[in-house]
Amino acid sequence: MPKYIVLLGPPGAGKGTQAQKISSSFGYPHVSSGELFREHLKNQTQLGKLAQGYIERGELVPDDVTIAMIRERLTRPDCEQGAILDGFPRTAPQAEALSAMLAELGGKVDLVPYINVPTRVLVERLAGRWTCREQGHIFHETSNPPRQPGKCDVDGSELYQREDDQAETVLKRIQVYLSQTTPLIEHYRSQGVLVEVNGALPIDQVTQTLSELIEKEVLV
């Protein structure tokens, strides 16, 4: 039976970093909804073109388009044993759709770690974050500065600060996330699969906590 983990946490909680680490350790692919959207838009797939139409009109991409992208990704061979979902679901209705989808694939949501970080810490983290233009590598002014200012250590491309990582918009992003996601958190809590993780701890300690949870709750 495939195993599925849904990582939850506000912007700046480190979901992407932790997903990559536990993916490397346990072999479950990291399925990021953001990266999946970019892939479909870049490759101009049928779903990508459909999503682009909504985006160009300034409309929200409907759930059924997002869900179709997730379904396509989870049916690829590398997800045969399961996956780590990051960025999806975002709402309780999406969670219900995911449950139905996973049931068709012979699985279910086995664990939902909620990486909880105080708002003050999130603002500090995000306001100093810089992103690589070429492949999206993340750097931070204090905790992970590039060797050469303004350039990515990996591919040498320019680093820039996303508009939504600028201090004046960070707090709003966090507030919006919390208001939208509270019902989702309660949804998974009521199912007995949600576990809160202290995301304010050092990265390696968070990884260790997540690894122990997976070994205890998923690999049984």
Q: Which of 23, 34, 100 is nearest to 5 (CA)?
A: 23
Active-site residue (options: 71, 108, 173, 189) = 173
Question: End-to-end alpha-carbon separation of the chain, Å?
Answer: 11
Identity of the residue numbered 38? R
Angle ∠(144,171,121) on CA atoms, nearest 5 = 45
Active-site residue (options: 3, 15, 21, 125) = 15
User: Is 148 in a helix, a strand, or coil?
Assistant: coil
DSSP-derived letter for residue 151 is B
Q: Which helix H or strand E contains 127, and what residues bound it?
A: helix 119-127
Annotated active-site residue 125? The verdict is no
Active-site residue (options: 71, 90, 108, 189) = 90
Active-site residue (options: 3, 21, 73, 129) = 129
Annotated active-site residue 120? The verdict is no
Annotated active-site residue 173? The verdict is yes
Active-site residue (options: 38, 76, 120, 162) = 162
199 C-beta neighbours (distance < 10 Å), count: 25
Annotated active-site residue 162? The verdict is yes
Catalytic machinery residues: 15, 90, 129, 162, 173
